[in-house]
Amino acid sequence: MKKPSNLIGSMASDSISDAECVRRIQRGETETFEILVRRHEKAIFNLVYRMLGDYDEAAETSQEVFLSAYRAIGQFRGDANFSTWLYRIALNQAATRRKSAGLRRHRLVPLDGTDFVNEVDLGPAESLEKKEIRERVQRALNELEPEDAMVIVLRDLQDSAYEDVARVLNIPVGTVKSRLHRARQALKARLMAYVFAGRKAV
């Protein structure tokens, strides 16, 4: 069970930097975009997945994220980090998708909690309880306000530095900290009811 390491600004081992890739794509080397896709697909997919809580929706949305980035790459300037820029696109699209998905169906906030089973099956060794906890955490995340969910996903799941979170969300570091505090409190309030009740029962 490997969690994503610090993904903002991470650069795998490829020798070509993101910035150089972007320059090449801007010069018309379309195929170079694949380097960027492969380098960031996992981070983006997980970011979107945690925002949406649905594997297929996440796959579809992630694809749109990369396509949007490709279409707009001509406007990308070197003054921002490419991954920061990409994360911003991903969070915007996830928030939009979340809104429309929430309106379209109640998939994200199922009443009985049974809808969150499309997370990968980690095998029979995985205890039912752990799986259930994960599903509930995910469900609690989906119930948060989008901006609260964003800050938690970036900081607690993606392990991004405060400064990176601030850059992606385009807010001051101080705001990141206070929003993070508020978001965690809100998440805790939702989790407490079942997670801690469950643990006490053991």
Partner 1 sequence: MICQEVQLQLSAFLEKSLDPIRVKGIEAHLNSCPPCRAEANELSDCMRQLRELPALEPPAGFAARVMARVREIESERRRQRWSVLRLPSGLPISAAAAVLIAVLSVFIYQKESGMVPDSVPPTGSAMPVAQESASVTEVAQSVAPAASAAPRRAAGETGRVAEIDTARVARASNPIGDQGLPENDPGIDNQTQSPIAAPRRAPIQAQEVATGRSSFRSSAEPSGFGAAIGALNQPPFRSAPFPAAERAFSPLSEPNADIELIVRRRAWERRTQVEETTEDVQQKRSEADAVIASAAARRAVPAPGMGNSSIVEMRWFGVPAHLYGEFRNQLAAEAHIDSERPITGKRDNRSEELLIKVIILPSDR
Residue ranges in contact with partner 1 by CB under 8 A = 1-4, 30-31, 33-34, 37-38, 41-42, 45-46, 49-50, 55, 59, 62-63, 66-67, 70-71, 119-120, 122, 133-134, 137-138, 152, 156-157, 159, 162, 177, 180-181, 184-185, 187-188, 191-192, 195-196, 199
Task: Please tell me the distance from the alpha carbon of residue 151 to that of residue 169, in angstroms, as a whole number.
Answer: 8
Task: Please tell me the distance from the alpha carbon of residue 175 to that of residue 162, in angstroms, as a whole number.
Answer: 10
Task: Please tell me the distance from the alpha carbon of residue 147 to that of residue 15, in angstroms, as a whole number.
Answer: 35
Closest approach of partner 1 to the CB of residue 194, in Å: 11
Closest approach of partner 1 to the CB of residue 110, in Å: 18
Q: Among 100, 13, 84, 7, which Cα is nearest to 46's?
A: 7
Identity of the residue, 33 or 85, whose beta carbon is nearer to partner 1 in the bound complex: 33
Identity of the residue, 38 or 106, whose beta carbon is nearer to partner 1 in the bound complex: 38
What's the length of the chain? Answer: 202
Task: Please tell me the distance from the alpha carbon of residue 79 to that of residue 60, in angstroms, as a whole number.
Answer: 29
Closest approach of partner 1 to the CB of residue 156, in Å: 4
Identity of the residue, 46 or 84, whose beta carbon is nearer to partner 1 in the bound complex: 46
CB–CB of 157/73 below 8 Å? Answer: no
Closest approach of partner 1 to the CB of residue 169, in Å: 17
Identity of the residue, 56 or 103, whose beta carbon is nearer to partner 1 in the bound complex: 56
Closest approach of partner 1 to the CB of residue 138, in Å: 7
CB–CB of 90/44 below 8 Å? Answer: yes
Task: Please tell me the distance from the alpha carbon of residue 25 to that of residue 151, in angstroms, as a whole number.
Answer: 31
